[in-house]
Amino acid sequence: MATEFHNLQELRHSASLATKVFIQRDYTEGTVCKFQAKFPAELDSRIERSLFEDTVKTLNNYYAEAEKIGGQSYLEGCLACATAYMIFLCMETRYEKVLKKISKYIQEQNEKIYAPRGLLITDPIERGMRVIEISVFEDRGSSGSSSGSSSTSSSSGR
Amino acid sequence: MSATRVTRRWQKLPGKNTFCCDGRVMMARQKGVFYLTVALITGTCALFFGFECPYLAVRLSPAIPVFGVLLFLFVMAVLLRTSFSDPGVLPRALPDEATFIEMEIEAVNGNVPAGQRPPPRIRNVEINNQIVKLKYCYTCKIFRPPRASHCSICDNCVDRFDHHCPWVGNCVGRRNYRYFYLFTLSLSLLTIYIFTFDIVHVALRECPQSVTAGSPDTVSWGGQQNVLICFFTLWSVVGLTGFHTYLITLNQTTNEDIKGSWSGKNRVQNPYSHRNIIKNCCEVLCGPTYPSVLDRRGVILEAPPAVTVPTTKSSTPEPQTTKTTAPLIPNEHTPEDTKPSIDAASHKTSPVPEDKKPHPPLGPPLASPDSDTDAAPIQEISQ
């Protein structure tokens, strides 16, 4: 890798945003929340394909778990209906619990895998569950040979 | 440390919604008909509980008013939940995402000769062996997910858009459809309940052996009013409930039904239906409760102008490093500045190796090539 960051703090202080890659939704199975696991070309030099695909697949699994229609969701629905949905004022829904797990997972992935490579994943919920936004950072002082850096150095040379 | 005003995100949200209780309540702008709905329901029930229940409780059973009260409370609870909740509004694309999509569209469409209309912005996806067209929303700058539609009254794209209901003062979409259905169902039951006991009440009073409680004239007036109101309400509400029950068994939305999206012409079938009535009903009514993706209560801190504005969420303590905005890069490029670099990067990495002219300033087009009955009227004004 041309640029290396050791943690998120370093990323914050020495990086500049080069570009953003948006992973779109995969609608082949209907309206369930699922993201395309296709590896974008812009990340080719930044991260291993398998790591990226693992992240996306795990996220897809989390969303599938949240949206699963089965015994637990029926029970939650019936109980909520019986209480005229007042129970949601004090109880957290299953989806919300899974979203918290997703948030923790993304944070952990950012810290361990993506930030050291100068990348940052944004939680899809902050983008309306439409895209997974991956920000690609470049080291401010670097004039490395990776794809985004020459453009950054041209735009940062003011 | 300069004083910071606390501004919540709902105050800056685009669209024509009104918010109450500091962002907790979200409704459409026109609320007059909603107030009428509340008044009609409360008024009818007040007449019933005031004029008829005292007699019926004594003459028949005290369970009648008790059950009536429970039913009334349930109707109000689901009505308020339908009216006050986020129907499933899709937030508009931020500038980076909008640019990215525009670039993708350009890559697909290629160079359009001057004077020619650009082709409609449509993305085809295959869902359960059926080709579904995703349309581009010029207001929200996104390709609408399947079943989403743009409500011109609220000026928002809503997921699984059913219809905009003035009676509840809100759109009916993915997040509040089941509450809306339960509202129509329980209101039908309440109307039938009151209507039945009105008739029973009138019939009992006709009997000479009946013991009257309260003066006969006021009581019969109250009963008559109720019978009239219930009679006219019954047909519309029960009819609506029946219609929505039909839609649920087919897993269709009102929007799709009106447009005839899955009417069977050209072998088009509903790809979202499970072909099983029970499964369709379970998915719509007992499915998971989707969270709102519109952050209404997040706090925007208004910092002094020297530093670019950071945005934080008050509800979750997640570190700011998961956000891609200013806190990470305090004095760095704004999104507009990164545009040339994105272009340069795309020229290098774009899969279509044609030589494109430099990124033209794509102003919002004045007319959307694909007309959508729910598309917002032409009000493409940059925010």
> pLDDT tens for residues B151-205?
999 999 999 999 999 999 999 999 999 999 999 999 999 999 999 998 888 888 8
Average model confidence (pLDDT) for chain B? 77
Q: Cβ separation of A42 and B349 shorter than 8 Å?
A: yes
B368 vs B11, higher pLDDT: B11
The model's confidence at residue B211, banded by pLDDT at 50, 70 and 90, is low
- What is the pLDDT at residue B220? 67
On the question of pLDDT at A152 being above 90, the answer is no
**Cα–Cα distance, B345 to B362 (Å, whole number):** 19
Chain A residue with the nearest C-alpha to that of B144: A130
Q: Which residues of A touch B329 (CB under 8 A)?
A: 12, 15-17
Degrees, nearest 5: CA angle A138-A139-A145: 70
On the question of pLDDT at A143 being above 60, the answer is no
Q: Cβ separation of A73 and B348 shorter than 8 Å?
A: no
On the question of pLDDT at B311 being above 50, the answer is no
- What is the pLDDT at residue B96? 87
Q: Which residues of B touch A11 (CB under 8 A)?
A: 321, 328
- Partner residue opposite A152 with nearest CB, options B316, B318, B341: B341
**Cα–Cα distance, A122 to A93 (Å, whole number):** 23
On the question of pLDDT at B45 being above 80, the answer is yes
On the question of pLDDT at B295 being above 60, the answer is yes
- Partner residue opposite B288 with nearest CB, options A42, A67, A81: A67
Question: Does the CB of A126 have a partner CB in chain B at under 8 Å?
Answer: yes
The average pLDDT across B135-150 equals 92
The model's confidence at residue A25, banded by pLDDT at 50, 70 and 90, is very high
On the question of pLDDT at B302 being above 70, the answer is no
Instruction: Give CA torsion, residues B109, B110, B114, B115, to 10 deg.
Output: -20
- What is the pLDDT at residue A88? 86
Listed in sequence order, the residues at least 6 apart from A13 whose beta carbon sits closer than 8 Å to its beta carbon are none
> Please, are residues A20 and B324 in contact by the beta-carbon 8 Å criterion?
yes
Degrees, nearest 5: CA angle B7-B9-B10: 105
Burial (CB count within 10 angstroms: exposed 0-12, middle 13-18, buried 19+), residue B235? exposed
DSSP annotation of A42 = G
**Catalytic (active site) residue B230:** no
Q: Is the pTM of this model over 0.80?
A: no
Q: Cβ separation of B322 and A106 shorter than 8 Å?
A: yes
* CA-based nearest residue to B12, from B308, B299, B292: B299
* CA-based nearest residue to B292, from A61, A102, A125: A125
- A·B CB contacts under 8 A: 169
The model's confidence at residue B268, banded by pLDDT at 50, 70 and 90, is confident
On the question of pLDDT at B270 being above 70, the answer is yes
The model's confidence at residue A8, banded by pLDDT at 50, 70 and 90, is low
The average pLDDT across B228-246 equals 90
Q: Which residues of B touch A84 (CB under 8 A)?
A: 73-74, 77-78
Q: Cβ separation of A130 and B93 shorter than 8 Å?
A: yes
On the question of pLDDT at A41 being above 60, the answer is yes
At B23 the three-state DSSP class reads helix
Q: Cβ separation of A77 and B349 shorter than 8 Å?
A: no
The average pLDDT across B230-254 equals 91
Q: What is the ipTM of this complex?
A: 0.81
Point out the least confidently predicted range of A6-20, A29-43, B173-187. Answer: A6-20
- What is the pLDDT at residue A10? 65
* CA-based nearest residue to A107, from A92, A124, A122, A93: A122
Q: What percentage of chain B has pLDDT greater than the value 90?
A: 32
Most A CBs within 10 A among B289, B300, B315, B320, hence the mutation to make, goes to B289
Q: Cβ separation of B321 and A25 shorter than 8 Å?
A: no
The average pLDDT across B282-306 equals 79
The average pLDDT across A1-16 equals 62
On the question of pLDDT at B217 being above 90, the answer is no
Q: Which residues of A touch B271 (CB under 8 A)?
A: 30
DSSP annotation of B265 = G
Question: Does the CB of A93 have a partner CB in chain B at under 8 Å?
Answer: yes
- Partner residue opposite B321 with nearest CB, options A8, A31, A126: A8
The model's confidence at residue B362, banded by pLDDT at 50, 70 and 90, is very low
B127 vs B324, higher pLDDT: B127
The average pLDDT across A80-89 equals 87
- What is the pLDDT at residue B237? 93
Burial (CB count within 10 angstroms: exposed 0-12, middle 13-18, buried 19+), residue B196? exposed
The model's confidence at residue A3, banded by pLDDT at 50, 70 and 90, is low
On the question of pLDDT at B336 being above 60, the answer is no
Q: Cβ separation of B146 and A30 shorter than 8 Å?
A: yes
Catalytic residue among B45, B157, B165, B171: B165
The average pLDDT across B20-30 equals 89
Q: How far is CA B233 from CA A94, A136, B220, B338, in A?
A: 37, 59, 20, 59
Q: Which residues of A touch B81 (CB under 8 A)?
A: 85
**Cα–Cα distance, B61 to A89 (Å, whole number):** 34
Q: pLDDT tens digit string along A119-132? A: 999 999 988 899 99
Q: Which residues of A touch B351 (CB under 8 A)?
A: 41
The model's confidence at residue B313, banded by pLDDT at 50, 70 and 90, is very low
The average pLDDT across B337-365 equals 40
* CA-based nearest residue to B325, from B339, B307, B340: B307
Q: Cβ separation of B132 and A66 shorter than 8 Å?
A: no
DSSP annotation of B25 = E
Average model confidence (pLDDT) for chain A? 81
- Partner residue opposite B322 with nearest CB, options A15, A68, A122: A122
Q: Cβ separation of A147 and B349 shorter than 8 Å?
A: yes
Most B CBs within 10 A among A11, A14, A19, hence the mutation to make, goes to A19
